[in-house]
Each structure stands twice: as C-alpha cells, then as structure tokens.
Structure 1
C-alpha cells in the first residue's frame, strides 16, 4: 500500500498546477484588471455551507480503494457505540487510515475530535493543518468555506495553548488571506512570522504566492529565493520561474523552470515546462 508521502508526491504536480491557475497570474492566463491582494477573499464572504464528518467521509471513500473504504467504515461503526478512551483510540485509528490514503479533509475531523477530548497544542495544530489541506484540495468545493472556518477555529485553539507558535500563526494567516473578508489580517500574521523567523518556509512560500496574486512579482521573487535557500523544492523553483517570467526576465525564468523539471521528474510537469520554455525562447 502506498504511504502518505508517496500519495502526496504523485499528486503534487496536479495540486501545483491547480494552485497556479487559481492565481490568474500573467504567465498562465490573463489576469483580471485591478485585482489586488484585498480581493483574494472568497470563501469567507458568505455563510459557510454545512460541512460534516459524515459528508466528507462519504465523498472521500469514493476516492479510495473499496477495501480500504470498508476498513474505515468498520471503524466508524465501532465508534458509534464507543466512549472515553476507546473512542479516542478509534479516532486515532481512523485519522491514520485517512492519512495513509492522503484524504486530509476526512482525517481532519478525526483529529478535531481527538483535540476536543485531549486539549493539547499539538492536537489542535494537527487538526488545523489537516483542515487547511482539506480546504485547499478537497474535491467538493462547496465544502471549502466550512473546512476553512474549522481550520481557523483549530489554529485559534492552538494559539490559546501556545500563543507564540509560528506554525499556528502561519496557518491562521493563510486561512485569513485565502478565504475571509480580512485578508490583510492574514498578511500581517505572516509578516509577523517572517519577522520572527526570516527563513520560515511556509510563511515565505505563501507570502510569495499572495504577492503573485496581487501582481507584486518582485516581492514574490524575493520570497521564493528565500524558500529555495532553505528548501529547493520543484514547487518553489516553478513559482520562481513564473515570477521571473512576469518580470520579463526570460533567461532566468527558463533556468528556474528547468530546475523545477529536474527536481520533480514528473512527465506532467515536464511537458508543461517544455511548452513554457519553448514560448519564452521564441
């Protein structure tokens, strides 16, 4: 059976491309006029649709092997009659099962239930991180607002227990920018994180992406260079190439795109990069 990291690797290119297209950046599709960072709010602009562990679990089971889905259903059935430590043990088993098949939205509800019973900072942070992966990648976009609001709640709970947590501040900042009517509150949180930890990968990565969204490609460039100095991932190199491209720095863009292709070693990304390089070379 494939483990979580393997699933993530297989899906990383698809997620990368989806994220890039959602940014409406010039290097990919034509941006909307006068679109700024203040206009990134979406999910939080209207009441969140009802999202439940049951509905998310049901859809997530459709995306995995039938045998694995049956195993999870057995655990869920046992959970209905469980209480106390036995219930927590079952939630932990369910969370691990969902993690093993890379279904973070479903896993998030199990981690949330664990955190509600075992009120610790690590538990709430894990719940927040899974809800974040959920609202960013879940198949049913009508659940996005509900998952995002749960991420915000989990990170706030984590910060109540550990007010100085940079991880929780980063997760909360990303959530505010991604889908609420307070995007600048999120940017402030992320800037606070990089002030405390200038090399923070997650905060710099997200600040770079939000800078691209608002057309501030020089700022994005600087953020991605910082990320690459610590963790030279194919995603960071690709975003760096996109920033260079939008600044008209074609040769630098080509080199960055090529680096992302080499590191990813994925046919889907390779084909896309080859087309980009051909465009930039004409």
Structure 2
C-alpha cells in the first residue's frame, strides 16, 4: 500500500507530466544538472554519518535515540571487523526505523573498512531511497552523487552484478550529465534479466518522461506481471490516458484504487475516471 507521501508524489508527477513531455530525458537531466551538480559537489562533503544521524534522531523515541547514540559511541572506539559488526547493528537499528539516509553512510563506511560488493550495493540502495522524493534539493543532489559513487564501486568489483548496474543506471539518469549511459545500463539489465522489476519500472518511468507512452505501457505491464501494486497500475493508467485509450486507462485506475485502498488516492482516481468517462 502506498503511504501518503508516495501518493502526493504520484499526483504531482501526473500534474507535471505535461511539462515534462515537452523535453527529452537528456534535456531534463541537463537542465537539472546545471542547477544541482555544483550544489551536490559542494554539499556532499557537508553531510556525514554524524550529521544525518542527528537529523534522523529528531522525532524518534528518546530511548531509541539514546540506544543509537550509545552504539555510535562504541563504533568510534572500534576497529576492523569489530567496527564492521557494530556498524551492521547500527544499520539494522535505522532499518527498523525506516531511515535510509544514515544506512547509506553506514554501509559506505563498512565498505571502506571491508570492500565487499554487498556493502557498496546496500550503500547505493540506501542513498537512492534517501534521495527519492527528498524535498531538500541540496541533500537530494548530494545523496544522488553518493549513490552513483557507491554503485560504481560495486560495478568495479563485479561488472555483471545486476543490482549494482540497475542502481547505477537509475542514479546516472537522475543525477549526472550522461543520462543515456544510465539508460544503456538499464537496457543491459533487462536484456540479461527480462523480468527485472527495478530496471523495468525505472525504464517505464523514463519512457513516460520522454513521451514514449507505448514503451511505458509495455514496461508497466511487465512490472505488473512480476509484482502488481497500486503505483504501477497508476502509471499504466496514466500512460493509457495520454495516448487516448480511455477504457484501458479506467480499468488500470480502478485496479490501482483497489490495491491502494487509500482515501486520498481514491478521490484523485475518481476524478480522473469521471473525466475519462465523459
């Protein structure tokens, strides 16, 4: 089920998509790059595990925050594998709290102590989750840059790792001046694994942004075959709507509403269906 934040983001995407379609992906990312790359380079060094941890502790249970602080104190005194073990415990604490940003820095530190593919991928995944839907643009740009760096480290270890290639591809499209390289990586992933959920979903979104709705429909149909969810049906419905296939759009919107079971999204979908039914 989508949470309220995800619903709001989806609605905003649909409202904005008309403007997005006037530009190819390359143009979109280049424009973003001009505004955010310099900020990301300057701000990424501003963010550390300590700074993001203190920010993440705001609003959580005081006792849990104190447990995390105590564990952080142990990490500072530890070395080698003992430090990695303590960092893993710390990452698990943040995972339980659904706070990905500190996890990104933790797995990055673990990978720097013990350079393992898994640590770099987990670091990239956490940074990517952290910058997705992030409203602080400076933080989002910094996290995107860190995600690219972590995934690139993973790919350097194993160039055939599909999780690393998918994450790197998606991060390059959203936060680099070479988005086509990212798309090429994602296409390599689906060529090797046609049912790769993450790569298909990401390519589907990029197809929508570039106005390639037929391709987006194919991608989201594949995604739904793998794992049907409200968000994927919502994007499928939007793609159908954009090419004038009203009955298919209504059917997909209806399925999205059923799976989401959320009043906010339901109200929006009801309005879309009403318009399509005229």
Q: TM-score, normalised by structure 2?
A: 0.89
1:43-88 superposed Cα distances (whole Å, 9 cap, x missing partner): 5632411322222212211243333222212212222222233322
| Secondary structure in structure 2 of the residue aligned to 1:31 | helix
RMSD across aligned positions (CA)? 2.0
Superimposed CA distance per residue, residues 250-272 of structure 1 (whole angstroms, 9 cap, x where no aligned partner): 11111101111111222222222
Mapped partners of 1:251, 1:179: distance in 2: 36
Contact 2:7–2:265 under 8 Å retained in 1? no
- Is residue 2:42 matched to residue 1:46? no
User: In structure 1, what is the Cα distance between the partners aligned to 2:15 and 2:160?
Assistant: 34
The residue aligned with 1:203 is: 199
Q: Distance in 2 between matches of 1:121 and 1:35?
A: 36
Partner secondary structure for residue 132 of structure 2: helix
CA shift for structure 1 position 10? 6.1
**Is residue 2:9 matched to residue 1:18?**
yes
Conserved? CA contact 1:40–1:178, under 8 Å = no
1:88 maps to: 84
Q: How many residues align?
A: 270
Once the two structures are superposed, residues 145-198 of structure 1 have per-residue CA deviations (whole angstroms, 9 ceiling, x without a partner) of 211111111111111221111111110000010111111111111111111112
Q: State the distance in 2 between where 1:143 and 1:268 align.
A: 28
- Structure with higher helix content: 2
Tell whether 2:227 aligns with 1:231: yes
CA distance in 1, matches of 2:104, 2:207: 28
Distance 1:103 1:125, change over 3 A: same
| Structure 1 runs not aligned, ≥5 long | 1-8
- Paired position in structure 1 for 2:242: 246
Structure 1 residue 140, shift from structure 2 partner: 3.0
Does residue 179 in structure 1 map to residue 175 in structure 2? yes
Relative distance call for 1:16 and 1:213 in structure 2 (3 A) is farther
Q: Secondary structure at the match of 2:19?
A: coil
Q: TM-score, normalised by structure 1?
A: 0.88
Do the aligned residues in 1 keep the contact of 2:37 with 2:141 (CA within 8 Å)? no
Shift of 1:230: 1.5
Q: In 1, are the aligned partners of 2:21 and 2:210 still within 8 Å (CA)? A: no
Q: Would the alpha carbon gap of residues 121 and 91 (structure 1) be closer, same or farther in structure 2, given more than 3 Å must change? A: same
Query: Aligned partners of 2:254 and 2:22: how far apart in 1?
Result: 31
